[in-house]
Amino acid sequence: MSINRFDYAENVTRAEEALADGFSTKAQQKDALNFLANAYFRLREIASEAALAAKDDDAYWGLPLDLHQIRAKKHAAFFGADWDKVAKLVSLREIVKAEEINRVEVDNSEKELRARVERTISEEMARIGKQYADAIDLGRVLKGLPVTANTHSVTNRFGTTFLRTIWFLNGKLTRFNVIAAAYEALVKEGTIVENAD
């Protein structure tokens, strides 16, 4: 659903909802102020068009560009019947500006979990790197890779049946991509010669 960015009622509603929810960040407070500015822009546009139609240069050029510049005595007449709406925006702006920002405490357990996951990933990458280095060393010594595979039929929880292969290098469970990468590296260096058959 698309909305008119400068629709008065929509923007006032959004600002009031944001105010009711409270602000946990400066950005949320700024968003609420932007809603009010957008609502004001619409009212300013209406007042500008009316001043142009009436050929009232003082009213046209005297319209404040932003809510913080509005003074009731000086500008009320420029907005005519819409002055109450403008006054509401000015009042809401003051309330939003004065609203305290209640920062949410960061849950350190998430940081700790992230650190554990990153540590686990680092450990896994180191383990895979060692498997690769061991495969290269073994391939150089044996002039080949002693690879075996165990294939079996599996049915998942959705009822799909497929073949799963578990790969072993020299009797140790090893990822296929590690075996394939080591094999390719050994072929490139000439340690393993592929059959042309």
Cα 20 to chain centroid distance, Å, stands at 25
- pTM score of the predicted model: 0.50
Domain ranges of the chain: 8-98, 108-189
Residue that the structure tokens 């009622």 belong to? 9
pLDDT of residue 3: 46
CA distance 98 to 35: 16
Q: Where are the alpha helices (DSSP H) in the chain?
A: 8-21, 26-53, 57-62, 72-79, 83-98, 108-142, 176-189
CB 84 within 8 A of CB 9: no
Q: What is the pLDDT of residues 100-139, one digit of tens each?
A: 888 777 667 778 888 888 888 889 899 999 999 999 998 8
Residue 161's alpha-carbon distances to 27, 105, 165, in angstroms, are 51, 48, 13
Q: What is the pLDDT of residues 76-99, one digit of tens each?
A: 888 888 888 888 888 888 988 888
For residue 177, what are the β-bridge partners?
A: none
Calculate the average pLDDT of the chain: 85
